[in-house]
Amino acid sequence: MDPLYGKTYLPRKFKIGFVIPPMNDMDIFTNCLGFIAIVENDQLIGYNLAVGGGMGRSHGNVQTYPRLADVIGFFTPDKLVDVAKAVLTIHRDFGDRTDRKHARLKYVVAERGVKFMQDEVNKRAGITLAPMKPYQFTTTADLLDWRKGVDGKWFLGLFVETGRVKNAQKIALREVAEKFPHIEFRLSANQNVILANASDADKTAINAVFAAHGVKTENQASIMRAAGMACPSLPTCGLGLAESERMLPAMIDRIEKLAGEVGLTNEEIIIRSTGCPNGCARPYMAELAFVGKAPGRYQVWLGGNASGTRLNRVWKDVIKEAELETELRPVLVRFVKERNAGERFGDWCDRVFLNEQKINN
């Protein structure tokens, strides 16, 4: 470590996530440091360690790129803090301090390799990472509507469109917070809100509050809308090159209409948008993503999957927002004709469509 930088100062931000398979609701591979809980016979036996994920990139700069974390081994729960500290200090000691765009752990992992990371983690944490344990993810989505947890308490997954609590939903949430101080409010990595720790009586009373304000707690959004996510971009974020949060709801309206016209009703396509390539809404994991380039113009990415284990790829370097239907209709028509039984849009794009495209990023 260079003494110039002290013991704690990091080159740049550092993101940490935990997931419990089969849910990948934190998009674990997009984090610098990820812990994948391994549960056997209802007992946590340890974690698979994922390192070096991240979304941010810059238009036209191939030195910057989205990257999935590598799973580099397994360790037991008693070593959690030691392992976290080991990975954090690897970022501190090897992260690039000369170039802000290169100052993320993902580039350390990409350039120095998995073996380097395993050796450093072992040395710093005083452990020997075991081979990773098998696991499988099925979804990156939140559990919406009312559900009963293993503790016997209810929780409500409340869809928040583009992560913006407003209007009747805002008023109802405030009333719930005031009337039910023991209810926990948790913000999800999918921009939704979870109200936890509810008894049977709470559930009934909370439903009444939402109903009084006309807010649904069941079937809250169409399947495509519920899967969407947008970064704030304009006017909140000064880095936005194009609209995102304010654009996506209408964009999903248009895509749902288009999908219906080509025979894709009630089809989930994970759609995400960001106002710039920094990727705050994790667009590079989506089946269909819009990344802002200029007002009304977006780079379009296709081919992510439902489990959050595959990066998508650029399809169009730029499309005009107004030309969405013209651009997308032929792709959806082909998807309907060519998909395998049950095949998702992102999987078909990755398997067939993108491999035929000549793409200039």
Which residues contact ligand SF4 by CB under 6 A? 231-233, 237, 239-240, 244, 274-276, 278-280
User: Closer CB to ligand SF4, residue 11 or residue 232?
Assistant: 232
Rounded Cα gap, residues 246 and 205, in angstroms? 33
User: Closer CB to ligand SF4, residue 142 or residue 243?
Assistant: 243
Query: Minimum CB separation from ligand SF4 for residue 317, in Å?
Result: 18
User: Closer CB to ligand SF4, residue 57 or residue 79?
Assistant: 57
Rounded (10°) angle between helices 80-94 and 114-125: 120
User: Closer CB to ligand SF4, residue 163 or residue 170?
Assistant: 163
- The structure tokens listed for 315 are 């399809």
User: Closer CB to ligand SF4, residue 228 or residue 275?
Assistant: 275
Rounded Cα gap, residues 269 and 256, in angstroms? 10
Query: Minimum CB separation from ligand SF4 for residue 15, in Å?
Result: 13
For residue 206, the one-letter residue type is I
Rounded Cα gap, residues 91 and 105, in angstroms? 5
Task: Kindly list the distances between the CA atom of residue 26 and the CA atoms of 17, 129, 134, in Å, as whole numbers in the listed order.
Answer: 6, 23, 19
User: Closer CB to ligand SF4, residue 267 or residue 321?
Assistant: 321
Query: Minimum CB separation from ligand SF4 for residue 345, in Å?
Result: 23
Q: 3-class secondary structure for 286-303? A: CCEEEEEEECCEEEEEEC
Query: Minimum CB separation from ligand SF4 for residue 246, in Å?
Result: 12
Rounded Cα gap, residues 361 and 357, in angstroms? 12
Query: Minimum CB separation from ligand SF4 for residue 230, in Å?
Result: 8
Query: Minimum CB separation from ligand SF4 for residue 239, in Å?
Result: 4
**Terminal alpha carbon distance of the chain:** 37
List Cβ neighbours of 28 (8 Å cut-off, separation of 6 or more). Answer: 17, 18, 19, 34, 35, 36, 50, 53, 69, 308
Query: Minimum CB separation from ligand SF4 for residue 247, in Å?
Result: 11
Tell me the residue length of the chain.
361
- Which phi and psi (to 5°) does residue 313 adopt? -135, 155
User: Closer CB to ligand SF4, residue 113 or residue 235?
Assistant: 235
